[in-house]
């Protein structure tokens, strides 16, 4: 099956949709026109740049370059988690908690999948490792950012309830247990919804890309099932890790609630 190549003229025509959207935003006074155009520009520059980087990386499939690429992706995702939180942990904790949770979940599951399921030789072949890790980080990042934002926001709003429980003799785990459960649930809802409608309402991105690239639909479906299960596991593990670590950080060694360890986004 022949793959239809896209020209820069094709991409320019597609960009008209963004200008229409920006124009409608300006007309309706939504205040999103500038953000839409900047996001479109960033998408174009970033994806073309990563296309060049991956082409070079595929030609020099060394584990050193792959590790460097993975590290950059992890740091970018960690920063994105930080930016999405209305109330974040102060200092290195704000960046470190989400990044560590992503490392524990996404990297572990990606390596296990490459070694035990895909079994390509060598296992770190960039053609497989980078796209899979990218999908894992992107989706796990969403779950972790939602979970942590929910945790810190609810802890701030319900601080009186938490402190009353502590006064009554509850441990810090008991005092924040319901908030922790709700935060983890919130972080996992998007991937659960995505799995529920996959193939029925929408064709997920990886399956669509493989079909457009000429792969057999049934093979594309099997790869998509693998990816969805991996993303679900990574999102669950990452969200649980981040929320648990974040919950612990909200209390000191004497089990006192320490909301001074948080700062709002407006104050930065």
Instruction: Give residue limits of the domains in the chain.
Output: 1-59, 62-267
What does pTM read for this prediction? 0.81
1, pLDDT greater than 60: no
Give rounded-to-5 percent helix, strand, coil for the chain: 80, 5, 20
Q: From CA 203, how far away is CA 224, in angstroms rounded? A: 9
Kindly give, in sequence order, each residue whose CB lies less than 8 Å from that of residue 10, ignoring residues fewer than 6 positions away: none
Across 215-226, average pLDDT: 84
Q: Which residue in the block uniquely carries the two structure tokens 């709003």?
A: 157
Ranges 48-57, 85-94, 170-179, 200-209, most confident: 170-179
> CA 12, 16, 17: angle at the middle one, nearest 5?
125
User: What are 237-250's pLDDT values in tens digits?
Assistant: 999 999 999 999 99
Residue 232 sits at the vertex; the CA angle it makes with 138 and 149, to the nearest 5 degrees, is: 60
Instruction: Read off the pLDDT of residues 98-150 as tens digits, 9 standing for 90 and up.
Output: 999 999 999 999 999 999 888 888 888 888 888 889 889 988 999 999 999 99
Local structure of 223: helix, strand or coil: helix
pLDDT at 117: 87
Q: If you average pLDDT over residues 35-64, what whole number do you get? A: 85
| pLDDT mean over 16-24 | 92
**Confidence category of residue 2, pLDDT binned at 50, 70, 90:** low
Query: What pLDDT is stored for residue 265 in this prediction?
Result: 67
- Three-state DSSP state, 138: helix
Q: Do residues 89 and 268 touch, judged by C-beta distance below 8 A?
A: no
**Which residue in 56, 54, 145, 44 sits closest to 102, CA to CA?**
145
């Amino acid at each position: 099956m022949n793959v239809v190549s896209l020209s820069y003229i094709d991409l320019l025509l597609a960009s008209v949709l963004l200008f229409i959207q920006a124009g409608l935003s300006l007309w309706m006074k939504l205040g999103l026109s500038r953000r839409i155009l900047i996001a479109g520009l960033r998408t174009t520059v970033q994806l073309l740049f990563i296309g060049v980087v991956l082409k070079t990386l595929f030609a020099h499939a060394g584990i050193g370059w792959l590790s460097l690429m993975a590290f950059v992706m992890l740091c970018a995702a960690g920063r994105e988690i930080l930016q999405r939180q209305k109330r974040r942990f102060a200092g290195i904790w704000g960046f470190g908690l989400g990044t560590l949770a992503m490392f524990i979940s996404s990297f572990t599951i990606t390596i296990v999948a490459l070694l035990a399921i895909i079994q390509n030789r060598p296992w770190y072949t960039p053609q497989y490792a980078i796209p899979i890790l990218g999908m894992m980080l992107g989706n796990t990042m969403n779950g972790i950012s939602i979970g942590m934002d929910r945790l810190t926001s609810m802890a701030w709003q319900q601080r009186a309830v938490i402190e009353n429980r502590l006064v009554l003799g509850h441990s810090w785990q008991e005092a924040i247990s319901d908030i922790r459960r709700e935060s983890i649930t919130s972080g996992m809802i998007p991937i659960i919804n995505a799995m529920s409608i996959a193939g029925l309402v929408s064709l997920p991105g990886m399956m669509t890309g493989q079909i457009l690239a000429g792969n057999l639909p049934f093979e594309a479906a099997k790869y998509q099932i693998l990816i969805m299960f991996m993303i679900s596991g990574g999102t669950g593990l990452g969200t649980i890790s981040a929320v648990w670590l974040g919950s612990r950080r909200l209390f000191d060694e004497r089990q006192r609630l320490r909301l001074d360890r948080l700062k709002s986004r407006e104050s930065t």
